[in-house]
Amino acid sequence: DSEPKKEDLQRITGLMDGFKASKALFTASKLCVFDLLQSRPGLDASQVAHEIKASVKGTECLLEACASLGLLKSKERTSQKPVYENTDLAVRFLRSDAPFSLHGYIQHCNNTVWPLFSHLESAVREGTNQYERAFGKKSKDVFQDTYYNSQDVKLRFMSAMHSIAKVTGKSVATAFDLSGYKTACDLGGCTGAMAYEFTKAHPGLSVIVFDLPAVVEMSEHFHPPHTDNRVSFVAGDFFKDELPKADLYILARILHDWPDEKVHILLSKIADACTPGCAVLIAETMLDGQTPYSALQSLNMLVQTEGKERSESKYTDMLSKHGFGNTRVVHTMNFLDAFIAIKM
Ligand code: SAM
């Protein structure tokens, strides 16, 4: 056998270490290290430890880990301890008040996704989400049974969705020429973040955000400072209630939450509400084998929901059963791909 190659070993060690890097990021984010160093750049480890009420030893290790991951810059001052400041990456995405902050999503990963992933083996054996093992509670409908039972968990989940929707919204909203559409309904539109991006990109478009009452009642916490009166909110259950009339239905990160049977129930309700020329716009990460992102996201859906990620051809096939065709896909190079299909 030839000696192991350095690149091969590095790849495997990178994979083995991935979870340590994730947890270092989650912990620094939870302890507000990036917010602290934004307002007070140049603190050393013992000053940071004092501010975040943590041990000096632990804080030193955490700050060095963050520096090695490119999240902090450490500057050696001659014969003194190193001092730290945020890198551009941390300034843009990790501060909690940055316009494209991923803080909300990182907290969701730390509090919910991490404990669920620790039961991945059971999820794979059983093919079901792991709420019962991780949190002692059975969860058939993750939204109504779990996230929305507590106000804190609900706000944390909404804030996680909000942060991704803000980062991805523009590329999804501008993926296709939508100038022919006047009214859209964003099904499961959560905080409205995606809807506001659609109205910004399309001056002639109004968007109704349709989501469960528990979400709609909290949505005003997330409205942008200058709200657009072309975005409105309607509370309801998209499996049970009548859908608002629109000529474009947006489904952003909705179908991946549900098994095929439920996707067909929802698509058939949308098809009933559509006349020829109406469209469905799906924003999901498409399984395509090109990058690990979508396949790993599918494991994420496995441990969290009843759903999974699907390929472009699977969505095309599912939509064709409800009379939608002329499908097009834009790979946005962002977290989400955009897919459109027209009612024939
Ligand atoms: N579309 C948003 C986005 O891309 O940021 C949120 C996606 S989140 C994964 C799924 C959304 O579907 C949540 O806002 C949830 O409240 C909503 N939802 C779940 N079940 C629903 C139902 N039965 N009726 C209406 N909305 C529902």
- Rounded to the nearest angstrom, the distance between the alpha carbon of 166 and the centre of ligand 1 is 15
220 touches 158 (CB < 8 A): no
* Residue owning the nearest CA to atom 24 of ligand 1: 237
CA distance 115 to 129: 12
Question: 7 in helix, strand or coil?
Answer: helix
Q: Confidence band (pLDDT; 50, 70, 90) for 226?
A: confident
Supply the pLDDT for residue 321: 98
Domains and CATH numbers, the chain: 6-93 (1.10.10.10), 103-343 (3.40.50.150)
For ligand 1, residues with CB inside 6 Å are 143, 161, 164-165, 188-190, 194, 211-212, 215, 237-239, 252-254, 257
- Rounded to the nearest angstrom, the distance between the alpha carbon of 238 and the centre of ligand 1 is 9
Strand 72-75 vs strand 279-284: parallel, antiparallel, or unpaired? unpaired
Please say if the pLDDT value at position 228 is more than 80.
Answer: no
Residue range 260-276: mean pLDDT, rounded: 98
Supply the pLDDT for residue 225: 85
CA distance 171 to 337: 9
Supply the pLDDT for residue 332: 87
What is the pLDDT of the chain when averaged over all its residues?
Answer: 96
- Exposed (0-12), middle (13-18) or buried (19+): which is 292, by Cβ within 10 Å? exposed
Please say if the pLDDT value at position 282 is more than 80.
Answer: yes
User: Any idea which of 132-136, 254-258, 289-293 has the lowest mean pLDDT?
Assistant: 289-293
Measured from the Cα of 256, ligand 1's closest atom is 9
Q: Confidence band (pLDDT; 50, 70, 90) for 177?
A: very high
Supply the pLDDT for residue 69: 98
Please say if the pLDDT value at position 234 is more than 90.
Answer: yes
Best residue for ligand 1 mutational test, from 211, 218, 300, 305 (most atoms within 8 Å of Cβ): 211
- Rounded to the nearest angstrom, the distance between the alpha carbon of 62 and the centre of ligand 1 is 35
- Rounded to the nearest angstrom, the distance between the alpha carbon of 241 and the centre of ligand 1 is 14
- Matching residue, tokens 């209630």: 241
**What is the share, in percent, of the chain residues with pLDDT greater than 90?**
91
Best residue for ligand 1 mutational test, from 212, 250, 297 (most atoms within 8 Å of Cβ): 212
Catalytic residue list: 256
Supply the pLDDT for residue 302: 97
Q: For 81-130, what is each residue's pLDDT tens digit?
A: 899 999 999 999 999 999 999 999 999 999 999 999 999 999 999 999 99
User: Any idea which of 27-31, 228-232, 336-340 has the lowest mean pLDDT?
Assistant: 228-232
Measured from the Cα of 164, ligand 1's closest atom is 5
